[in-house]
Amino acid sequence: MHVVVFTKSTPDTAAKVEVDANGNVTWGDSPLVVNPWDEYAAEEALQLKEKQGANTTVIAVGPEMDNDALKHCVAMGIQEAVRVWDDALEGSDSLGQAKALAAAIKKMGDVDMIITGKEAVDVNSDAVILQAARFLGWPVLSFVAKIVEIDPATGAIKVERLVEEGRETVSAKLPAVVTVVKEINEPRYPSFIGIRKAAKLKIPVWSRAESGRARSEVEAGAAKTKVLEKFPPPPREGEVEIIPSDDVEEAARILAEKLIEEKVV
Amino acid sequence: MSGVFVWIEQFKGEPALVSWQALGVGRKLADEIGEPLIALVFGQNVGELAQKAIHYGADEALVADDQTLAAFRVEPYAALVTKLIEERSPRFMLAGATTRGRDLMGTVAGQVGAGLLSDVIGLDVIDGNLQATRPIYAGKLLSKEVAEGDFQMATIRNRAFPTPDPDESRTGTITQVEPVMAEDEITVKVEGVEEAVGEVSLTDANIIVSGGRGVGGPEGFEPVRELAEVLGGAVGASRAAVDAGWIPYAHQVGQTGKVVSPDLYIAAGISGAIQHLAGMRTSKVIVAVNKDPEAPIFSVARYGIVNDLFKVLPALTKAFKEKLGR
Ligand SMILES: Cc1cc2nc3c(=O)[nH]c(=O)nc-3n(C[C@H](O)[C@H](O)[C@H](O)COP(=O)(O)OP(=O)(O)OC[C@H]3O[C@@H](n4cnc5c(N)ncnc54)[C@H](O)[C@@H]3O)c2cc1C
């Protein structure tokens, strides 16, 4: 079984993210980290490696900054890393990136599962992975909170998904795309040996041509969505009103009245 | 090219509230481009839902009533949506940005090669194209994005748009359509759903009362639950409380939990870490109850009480019981 983790780098979630005078997003000197949801995907892939002898690869479609995420996954124990990128992908949208990802997966040839986090926290979207699944013609098992069983002989997979109403048990056949939520596991820390291996690693970069896609299909000109502007949300209005609470019962009554007056209860 | 499609999501026949909000947005877009608003209603025994979709603003409902569509699955749903897009050539399609809406719309966008604006909180037609505002970096920034091409799609965030008032006198056409895939062509099988019973859904809730590390243990959620109950609200939690095992992950609010936007959010014993704020800062009114007057949660709150939550929450429960007569 070959399990591929799909990831990207994002600013640390504690970072203060801002837009500079040129309209570019900045995050000060905060480090880049692996997209937090993808850590759970990497952990799940490692458990499949340990329990079922799966081969593991981590892949990113993006510029050099994505090496940070790839190296983190290697430091956790993922065996191989690949980055797909060239200048034609600069400014591409999710459709272009999904095509590049699907082509790279096809090139690998033997992939049984792509596993990734439920979304990328920077763009707040899962469009790339869903569209890649479509280009591959694979089913998507999203928001997975537990892989109940995989039968490597038949490719049967059963998972529990977290949906609005509760937990849904679903079965399907590999190859498939799996997206995971936090509940699925507790990601391990990179080991000392893993960190050393990752530091020395030279990550191969596959160009779009190598992964078999025409430039015209992926480049910015083919994009069907464009970002016009990024900006900070309007600040929340007004200062907090602290209700004195030497007498808690009285404070509660005052607050209750104010909330009823505001028509929020 | 004609019409605006809106997918009406249902679970066991119950419509998702966000679908009506999507119909409200769809109505506005359809009027602006002068084309009909068409609801897509798939499931089993969903005729009544189609009628409701008309009341909520649709001009026509395309209804597929079939056992293969009873529970949502991406494969048969996406295949049917794709066929309807080919037949009707709509300009736009909208759905709620729920777990199902995201799966369906992302898949269809890949299938037909359409631009998809996901999880939008603002949506307009500018020069014939969809233009959206959507949160990025977990709401730390907003992004203004535009779609291009003959057919464009968007998913809308729950509660970001108003729910229209239904008009029971509205009439429209109901058209039956046939599913595309037979059961033996569908690889994904739903074996069952374990429902979280008797709980108000966090993302639908008008009111949320959340507890953090300050509640001190699983039993510390009792006063949180009691207040939520009097208010008819849902119970939320910080990651610290979830990680400690005091409450299931489904209740977590924040960057790696649920993003919520209720009318009233009461945070008790929550410090207000940036990752928590990412999940609730768009709430209309925020109330913070915390012992520490320096806690960052006060910087986003409208009202604060600096005191022990074990005194404040029961007092609030009592006050609301009296004032609301519950
Ligand atoms: C990648 C990543 C993702 C994350 N995602 C999330 C997320 O989705 N959601 C989330 O919430 N966090 C998330 N976090 C964690 C976040 O950084 C904080 O650690 C967490 O929110 C803290 O929870 P808390 O406020 O309950 O606990 P604390 O920060 O420990 O705060 C407890 C508060 O309770 C107050 N208190 C204590 N006792 C009482 C009392 N008796 N009465 C009143 N007040 C009292 C204290 O003054 C304090 O302010 C994430 C972190 C990372 C690194």
Rounded to whole angstroms, how far apart are CA atoms B269 and A260?
23
- Bridge partners of A141? A178
Contact A98 B114 (CB under 8 A): no
Q: Which atom of ligand 1 lies nearest, measured to the CA of B256? A: 8
Contact B74 A139 (CB under 8 A): yes
Rounded to whole angstroms, how far apart are CA atoms A40 and B99?
18
Q: What is the ipTM of this complex?
A: 0.92
Residues with Cβ within 6 A of ligand 1?
A 13, 36; B 212-214, 238-241, 252, 254-257, 269-271, 273, 275-276, 279, 289-292, 295, 308-310
- CB neighbours of residue A250 within 10 Å: 14
* Contact (Cβ atoms closer than 8 angstroms) between residue B23 and residue B39: yes
* Residue A81 Ramachandran class (φ > 0 left, ψ -120 to 50 alpha, else beta): beta
* Contact (Cβ atoms closer than 8 angstroms) between residue B63 and residue B175: yes
Rounded to whole angstroms, how far apart are CA atoms A69 and A117?
13
Q: What is the pLDDT along chain B (326 residues), one digit of tens a residue?
A: 589 999 999 999 999 999 999 999 999 999 999 999 999 999 999 999 999 999 999 999 999 999 999 999 999 999 999 999 999 999 999 999 999 999 999 999 999 999 999 999 999 999 999 999 999 998 889 999 999 999 999 999 999 999 999 999 999 999 999 999 999 999 999 999 998 776 778 989 999 999 999 999 999 999 999 999 999 999 999 999 999 999 999 999 999 899 999 999 999 999 999 999 999 999 999 999 999 999 999 999 999 999 999 999 999 999 999 999 87
Q: Which atom of ligand 1 lies nearest, measured to the CA of B309? A: 42
Contact B257 A182 (CB under 8 A): yes
Residue of A nearest to B285 (CA): A264
Give residues with Cβ within 8 angstroms of B24, minimum separation 6: B56, B57, B161, B162, B163, B164
Is B38 near chain A, with CB under 8 Å? no
B45: buried, middle or exposed (CB in 10 Å: 19+, 13-18, 0-12)?
A: exposed
Q: Which residue segments constitute the domains of chain B, with CATH numbers given?
A: 4-185 (3.40.50.620), 207-324 (3.40.50.1220)
From the list A37, A95, A167, the residue facing B193 with the nearest CB is A167
Cβ-based contacts of B146 with chain A (< 8 Å): 225-226, 228
Rounded to whole angstroms, how far apart are CA atoms B105 and B118?
9
| CA-to-CA dists, residue B297 to B13, B209, B289, B292, angstroms | 39, 14, 9, 10
Is B135 near chain A, with CB under 8 Å? yes
* Contact (Cβ atoms closer than 8 angstroms) between residue B231 and residue B250: no
CA distance A146 to chain B (A): 13
Contact B306 A245 (CB under 8 A): yes
Contact B274 A14 (CB under 8 A): yes
CA distance B172 to chain A (A): 30
